């Protein structure tokens, strides 16, 4: 499972000009699910998102998590994070999980975040979405449950 995490001052996701998810200060989590991901991968990604210390403390150091700041998470499923561009010019998505499995694991990440009292807004699975992100910093973190990077 892969995720791109961005610290934001605000973000929203729209489908067909309708806002379906919105947060103020917090994190946008773009989440890609691989075909052989399981509960261990889900737990790793959810725990990392909840605990990432990317918000400034009183001394101006990135030392606080989204939990500590009371921020929210906008979780957006994004299978293109699994695009393999090593050969040719068109990404291959052969390692991406089938939609039903991907949606179930993506929603499990959301549940685990909510269990930690983090407000979570969602994109719409398998929809063409417009995601408006106002980066704060910018701060962008890459996560991979297999620790490839």
pLDDT for the residue numbered 23: 98
Question: Residue 111 — pLDDT band, cuts 50, 70, 90?
Answer: very high
> In the annotation, is 134 catalytic?
no
| Cβ-contact 50, 116 below 8 angstroms | yes
pLDDT for the residue numbered 144: 97
Residue 41's CB: how many other CB atoms inside 10 A? 20
At 67-90, the pLDDT tens digits run: 999 999 999 999 999 999 999 999
Number of independent structural domains in the chain: 1
* For range 98-126, the mean pLDDT: 97
**Is pLDDT of 5 > 80?**
yes
> In the annotation, is 80 catalytic?
yes
* Pair type for strands 72-77 and 26-32: parallel
pLDDT for the residue numbered 148: 81
Q: What are phi and psi of 43, to 5 degrees?
A: -60, -45
Range of the domain at 123: 2-142
Q: Is residue 135 part of a domain?
A: yes
Q: Is residue 18 part of a domain?
A: yes
**Is pLDDT of 7 > 80?**
yes
Q: Is residue 149 part of a domain?
A: no
Q: Is residue 100 part of a domain?
A: yes
At 27-39, the pLDDT tens digits run: 999 999 999 999 9
- CATH code of the domain containing 113: 3.50.80.10
Q: Is residue 19 part of a domain?
A: yes
Both tokens of 64, joined, read 């606080």
Q: Is residue 148 part of a domain?
A: no
> In the annotation, is 149 catalytic?
no
Please identify which of the residues 19, 39, 80, 140 carries the catalytic annotation: 80
């Amino acid at each position: 499972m892969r995720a791109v995490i961005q610290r934001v001052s605000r973000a929203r996701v729209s489908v067909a000009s309708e806002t379906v998810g919105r947060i103020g200060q917090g994190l946008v989590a773009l989440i890609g699910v691989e075909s052989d991901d399981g509960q261990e991968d889900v737990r790793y990604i959810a725990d990392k998102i909840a605990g990432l210390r990317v918000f400034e403390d009183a001394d101006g150091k990135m030392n606080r998590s989204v939990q500590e700041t009371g921020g929210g998470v906008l979780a957006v499923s994004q299978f293109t994070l699994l695009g393999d561009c090593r050969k040719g010019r068109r990404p291959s998505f052969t390692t991406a999980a089938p939609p039903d499995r991907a949606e179930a694991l993506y929603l499990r990440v959301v549940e685990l975040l909510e269990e930690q009292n983090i407000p979570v807004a969602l994109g719409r699975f398998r929809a063409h979405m417009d995601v408006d992100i106002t980066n704060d910093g910018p701060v962008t973190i890459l996560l991979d449950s297999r620790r490839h990077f």
